[in-house]
Structure 1
Amino acid sequence: MASAVAISAPRPTSRRQVLIEKLIGCGFVFPVCVLLLLLNIVPLGVLALLSFTDYQMGAVDFGFVGLDNFAKALGDPVFRRAVTNTLIYVAIVLPGSVVLGLFAAVLIHGRLGSRPFYEIVYFLPITTTIVAMAAVWQIVLHPGLGPVNAVLQRLGFEPVMFLSDPAFALPTLAVIGIWQLVGFNMILFLAGLSAIPRDLYEAAEIDGCGSPVDRFLTVTWPLLGPTTMFVIVTSSITSFKVFDTVVAMTKGGPMGSTEVLLYAIYLEGFQYFNSSYASVLTLIFLVFILIFAVIQTFVLDKRVHY
């Protein structure tokens, strides 16, 4: 005679238990929300409030001026020059860092023994301090003592004032920006390459994709879509936020040729103590970055295969 085994049904969760679980979850989230409020939301609100005033750093009182600061920014030739310099910088750094990062990742991904060495070498610029990096680059690009101009002179060219000539200063900083970002983008692309199943390459080879270029175009590149979108968005935001290399190497010169948006904001806020106008420039900068990132994400998302 078979014995019947009684299986007890799970007890339904009471409303009190559900409420307790929600309260516990809110308790864990509360410190993060407080930090987000104090470090991001409140400063952004203060920034927006100051943009409608004539406040100067150190002043005891201020008045509301409405949209006068925004009208001043739109008609300011220095601001327009800073926007132009920033866009030129991004137009050089963004494609250069993405393409070279992908190229380096593809070359390094297949190596077994030497891969850690190349990863460390390419990642070193990210860990380098700005002061040390600026000192090294100033020596390398020195018109009389630098090895770059020494090579140019041996080839029959005149020495180039990379950091003193307005025609070369901004492209030079852009090349340094590419040098800084390539290693980080390479690591991201390596992670994306590691997630691609090897079976797909074998199937593509059976279907006739024998050359590495064909396999890259049919398998690697489409499957790297999400990684590429992330790399493009993060690289563009990082490029727009260029500031440290300008401060360390050119300080906006020569003749304002490297004065980018963040450096212009820094001058207005901490050199000229014009806090209200600096707040307007910062607000415009944040809105510009947000719009650019959103448009970029939606455009790229339609072309990404998940």
Structure 2
Amino acid sequence: MPAHTAAHTTRRHAAWRTVSAAACALAIAAGLAPGAAQAKDVMTWVMPDFPPAAIPVNGKPGNGVADQAVNFITARWPDAEHRYIYANARRTWEILERGEAVCFPAALRTPERERIAYFSNTNLLPPPVLIVRGASLPSVPLNSAGEADLAALLERAKLHGIVVDKRSYGAAADGAIARRPRHSSLQIIPVSSYGGNILRMIAAKRADYTLDYDFALAYEMSRAPELATLKTVAVAGGSAPVTVGVACPRTPWGRAAIRRIDRLLGTREGAAALMQAQTRWQTEASRQRHAAALAEFTRQRGKPSPASDYE
């Protein structure tokens, strides 16, 4: 399998090498055979710099939600050398779409992404919310339930929004963004992180709103008091929890890798570790709101996914 180096710059990105998917699939399959004699394989993880989903420590997974999923997997996959690269959302999905031999452990699962990647579910998270500067909140269009009407908001050219290129914010929000009018003041930007800098831009009055998770805002607020001016509003049509998981490319290599990953996660121990990883960072309000859905998700995660998921 290929060796990949950590990449935050274009120069380092150029060092990537493509590999034969069939050869990689055979190598992974060999790793599944008990007692198979072989050289140690390389398993490369593309990680986000996105606290608290991922909190890198010296270029390796730390104590974030996705970090702990990866640490659980790698501790039970000793016959591979695990390597880590950090990339933004655009770079990550370009890599996966090309079929590179890597897996991404913090992927929001959508039908569009399932066309280019296999998934093993790891977390059921509260949906992203609208995060808006307090002074701009009165201008946000709301429905009768007090939820933000995102489509109407995107019509208002005077309100400037920012979202991250190639990030998914859930089906409802993604659809509204895709259908936004030409005069919309929403900016879609590629950034090295997944949104922390955007929150600071809003607090500094360089924009009015973005979309993100409430626990991501809570994490950033604990480190940047100036973010206390930001408020959260639920998005109309986007109240259902979102599924996040490990994504591997839709190739023979990716299928073999994701099936092994899913078997490692699909135990009571795995389900408990994944739930503990997210509840540590999740807000109490969201835990209570989605308690029943979380309990059912954990029950299902306590066993491997059906083989039909990877056909």
- TMscore range, shorter length: under 0.3
Please say which structure displays the higher CA radius of gyration.
Answer: 1
Q: TM-score, normalised by structure 2?
A: 0.21
Specify which structure has the higher proportion of helix.
Answer: 1
Specify which structure has the higher proportion of strand.
Answer: 2
